[in-house]
Chain A
């Protein structure tokens, strides 16, 4: 088991954003988390990556309890994520964003930087090589020196996935990777996610609203509603689940 969440709850001033969620993410799968707005999907990601502390419950990653650790430590353990509102270092260039993403693989510190020691040079060479490789992988090689602000919405989405990917994580949490994109761009991102799964062999957990895309990508789907898990299963099972249809479309569609 790669990641295991047990009885996880998060309350904001008494209001339960997540209530006793238990789920597992297996190594080498694509798991989709779906649910209406406010169901607690992003809260779950924020708990897993350490941006929020759980009110109660445990998060085990490779058998180790990581609940409540700081985000940068969790990143070092091999959990990468993207954000719902595309988060990038928008004052910097495309390649700088990726170099920052790769930084946790570097070992050199302050004095090595000042004296340009051998480990600094090795790290720099390795970073450059990985930045180039990732640029190719996400299809932004020609934009390496461009400022982030000059990228299109779809390119920014791809770069944000690249920033998560370059650290060679064991799992990537993608928070609405195609949110706000038109159909063609959505297909491109879908292809990129498939490529990450197949070529880079990284486990993927994604939050997504576009059901067509989820059905196409996911091996397994978990449905959240009002902070609770209401269904879990294969895409076929989920698409026939009456509770899911009710949560998404309203009870009158159940007839």
Chain B
């Protein structure tokens, strides 16, 4: 039976999924549950940042800018009566389009120049959000963003999104969608060409990879999901302000990504869940906890350039090599 074989092979992931589905029954504290919901949401942003930064090697620091574009898009549209289910894809597509337009000039620059150019764009988005008062509400932002429109589903009936549990399943569904898209991209020849661009751009060009188009595609997809997460955020939290697009958010996700493990699929999710929890536990240290994270970040970048997950897979490989060698020795002795 292929189904059983699939279960046996992927039991760990199936278990994780079951656990994720059962989470609302395991966590009863509303505050903790909110942290989990935010963890899922920021997993989406960190996963998408991972595509452009981790896999394609282009350090975009405009990620919160595109998150902000998505959140303002959904807030403005749903407040004027448009259904959330139309506003969300439109806002994400809008973020992707802006990403395309911004990518055209900025992706022609390399390395730190690209980082600086996108950093500037991120700052501009949040300044525009704060200054265009009649449209964005200025620095007070927009309040009273409606929750997602109830969704009529066949068989199940109409689902509302007023409860935390329903909101959690909504975010989880989008996280799984993001993960599916990232998985398909990364484990494909298209994903390989992204990694080729990261690894050796001149060689990638020489073997026929259109590196500029590859970078644009990766940037657009990353910003689509940043906008998507922003739109969901606006609708769940109910109020947004220029700080929704602030550079601080980008740097938080960057820390999740680097500590969790860039260029892995599990790393961004682990980072987005584990680090906010650690932050929560270290609350008594107030501002000083940033010092700890600073030191941790430096240590990780030096010793585990691919983060927690990278360190883990290196360890796994070492163990496998060790046993492989012993087996090799046994073979040699026997023959």
- Interface residues, chain A, with chain B CB atoms under 8 Å away: 49-51, 70-72, 75-76, 80-81, 83, 87-92, 96, 99-101, 103-104, 106, 108-110, 113-114, 116, 120, 123-124, 127, 163-164, 167
Contact = CB atoms under 8 A, between A and B. Distances in A.
A104 B188 contact: no
B203 interface: yes
B203 A72 contact: no
Nearest to B203: A87
B206 A92 contact: no
A40 B300 CA distance: 44
A81 B204 CA distance: 11
14 contacts: A50-B205, A70-B210, A75-B206, A81-B206, A87-B203, A89-B199, A89-B200, A91-B199, A96-B192, A100-B196, A103-B208, A104-B208, A109-B190, A113-B184
Contacts of B199: 89-92
Nearest to A97: B196
Contacts, number: 94
B217 to A, nearest CB: 6
B211 A72 contact: yes
B209 A100 contact: yes
B279 interface: no
A114 B207 contact: no
B188 A87 contact: no
A114 B185 contact: yes
B270 interface: no
A101 B207 CA distance: 5
B5 to A, nearest CB: 19
B37 to A, nearest CB: 26
A180 to B, nearest CB: 18
Contacts of B206: 49, 51, 71-72, 75, 80-81, 83, 87
Interface string B60-78: 0000000000000000000
B209 A87 contact: no
Contact of B202 (A51, A124, A164): A51
B195 interface: yes
A109 B204 CA distance: 17
Interface of chain B, main secondary structure: helix
Nearest to B263: A91
B210 A72 contact: yes
B10 interface: no
Residue among B189, B202, B207 facing the most chain A CB atoms (10 A cut-off) = B207
A1 B202 CA distance: 28
A103 B203 contact: no
Nearest to A104: B208
B329 interface: no
B193 interface: yes
A167 B189 contact: no
B14 interface: no
Contact of B203 (A50, A89, A96, A113): A89
Nearest to A96: B192
A114 B184 contact: yes
Contacts of A70: 205, 210
Interface of B: 181, 184-185, 188-193, 195-196, 198-200, 202-211, 217, 221
A92 B189 CA distance: 13
A108 B190 CA distance: 9
A167 B204 CA distance: 13
B205 A113 contact: no
Contacts of B210: 70, 72
Nearest to A109: B190
Nearest to A45: B206
A100 B192 contact: yes
Given A75-B206, A113-B184, A167-B208, A103 B192 contact: yes
Contacts of B181: 114
B184 A103 contact: no
Contacts of A163: 203, 207
B189 A103 contact: yes
A93 B204 CA distance: 15
Contacts of A92: 192, 195-196, 199
B185 A100 contact: no
A81 B208 CA distance: 11
A103 B195 contact: no
A192 B117 CA distance: 46
B190 A113 contact: yes
Most chain A CB within 10 A, of B192, B196, B208, is at: B208
B202 A87 contact: yes
A75 B207 CA distance: 6
A100 B203 CA distance: 10
A80 B203 CA distance: 10
Contact of B217 (A88, A110, A127, A167): A110
A120 B209 CA distance: 17
A46 B210 CA distance: 17
Contact of B189 (A72, A76, A114, A124): A124
A65 B181 CA distance: 40
Nearest to A114: B184
A103 B209 contact: yes
Contacts of A71: 202, 205-206
A235 B209 CA distance: 37
